[in-house]
Amino acid sequence: MPDPAPSAPTQPVFVLVRPQMGENIGAAARAMLNFSLSRMRLVDPRDGWPNPKAVAMASGAAEKVLNFAGVFDDVAGAVADCDFVFATTARGRELAKPIYTPEAAMLEARQRILAGQKVAILFGPERTGLENDDITRANAIITVPVNPEFFSLNLAQAVLLSAYEYSRHTLDATPRDPGLAAHIPATAQDVEKLGDHFETRLDEAGFFTPPEKAPMMKRNLRNMWTRFAMTRSEVQMLHGALRQIFRARD
């Protein structure tokens, strides 16, 4: 169930991926509302939804964040309508993506939202963090410069840090020209479908060999598409080019 949202976004979507404890979801909701943020989405919460422990921890006013939270089966569905996605992780550096500090990331998010884009931020499960397959669906990575000997952050702490950094840029950020005037950015769903199209065609052509390397090859392709930050017209052009190549071959 998608969360209700205005047609022109005014804040980022905080996406909690496979959260394990209701208490942490409630604490994350409180952290968001501390900084006037309310757009939460949940991906496959371990203990189901709704969760009474989350409501108890939300403590009153923050319960409204939970009441309107969208619940999704997977990350792809949760970010399908978003134009730009950040993934918070202490790992993932083997994936070629831009890496931001929380401050720089939230300033970038603010500028994109002022330009009319929808921005999402992924937060991983408490014990393991985001998996590489989750991170490939993001355009960029947020890494907190913490003590390398103790780099683990609680879910609610990570949410609080990002919410604070976004909030403090709310008043002084100015719109920017992204250099794509008259062009609509491709949504995450547009990019996901392009990846599906390429995987299907390359599979038919026998590209993914040897079989044991196929998952890594497919992950690298997905990561490449999200890194490009394409427009919708560019995605459509690549679909058309792929169809033409295989039409000529057939």
Give yes or no: residues 57 and 163 share one domain. Answer: yes
CB neighbourhood size of 173 (10 A): 17
Question: What CATH number does residue 65 fall under?
Answer: 3.40.1280.10
Please check whether residue 5 lies inside any domain of the structure: no
Lowest mean pLDDT, pick from 97-106, 151-160, 164-173, 174-183: 174-183
Structural domain of residue 58, as residue ranges?
A: 13-168
235 lies in the same domain as 161: no
Report which of 126, 104, 137 is spatially closest to residue 19, judged by C-alpha positions: 126
Contacts of 171 (CB under 8 A, 6+ apart): none
CA distance 121 to 106: 10
- CA dihedral of 10, 236, 97, 5, whole degrees rounded to 10: 20
Nearest to 224 by CA among 246, 185, 191, 178: 191
Q: Which of 113, 119, 162, 169 is nearest to 140 (CA)?
A: 119
pTM over 0.85: no
Domain membership of residue 210 (yes or no) is yes
Q: What is the per-residue pLDDT for 90?
A: 78
Shared domain for 163 and 200, answered yes or no, is no
Higher per-residue confidence, 230 vs 92? 230
Q: For residues 164 and 196, state if they share a domain.
A: no
76 & 46 share domain: yes
DSSP 85-142: EEEE-S--TTS---EE-HHHHHHHHHHHHHTT--EEEEE--TTT---HHHHTT-SEEE
State which of 119, 136, 168 marks the end of a domain: 168
Instruction: Give me the amino acid identity at 213.
Output: K
Q: 118 and 42 share a domain?
A: yes
181 pLDDT above the threshold of 60:
no
**What digits encode the pLDDT tens for the residues 1-38?**
445 444 446 899 999 999 999 999 999 999 999 999 99
Sign for the CA dihedral angle at 159, 160, 162, 167 comes to positive
Average pLDDT, the chain: 87
Positive or negative torsion for Cα 86, 16, 107, 154: negative
Q: Is residue 1 part of a domain?
A: no
Residue 46 lies in a domain: yes
- Which tokens in the block code for residue 124? 């991983």
Position 5 scores a pLDDT of 44
Provide mean pLDDT across the span 172-183: 53
* pLDDT above 90: percentage of residues in the chain: 60
Count of the separate structural domains present in the chain:
2
* Residue 114 within a domain: yes
Give tens-digit pLDDT for 109-129.
Answer: 999 999 999 999 999 998 888
Q: Do residue 57 and residue 159 come from a single domain?
A: yes
| Bridge partners of residue 86, in order along the sequence | 121, 140
Q: What is the pLDDT of residues 36-88, one digit of tens each?
A: 999 999 999 999 888 899 999 988 788 889 999 999 999 999 999 999 999 99
pLDDT in the model for residue 193: 94
Q: Are 19 and 127 within one domain? A: yes
Residue 180 lies in a domain: no
pLDDT at 4: 47
pLDDT at 174: 53
Are residue 99 and residue 192 in the same domain, yes or no?
no
Same domain flag for 103 and 55: yes
Is 26 a domain residue? yes
Average pLDDT score over residue span 128-149: 88
Cα-to-chain-centroid distance, residue 34: 22
- The pLDDT confidence band at residue 246, using thresholds 50, 70 and 90, is confident
Same domain, 126 and 97: yes
Residue 16 bridge partners (DSSP):
42, 123
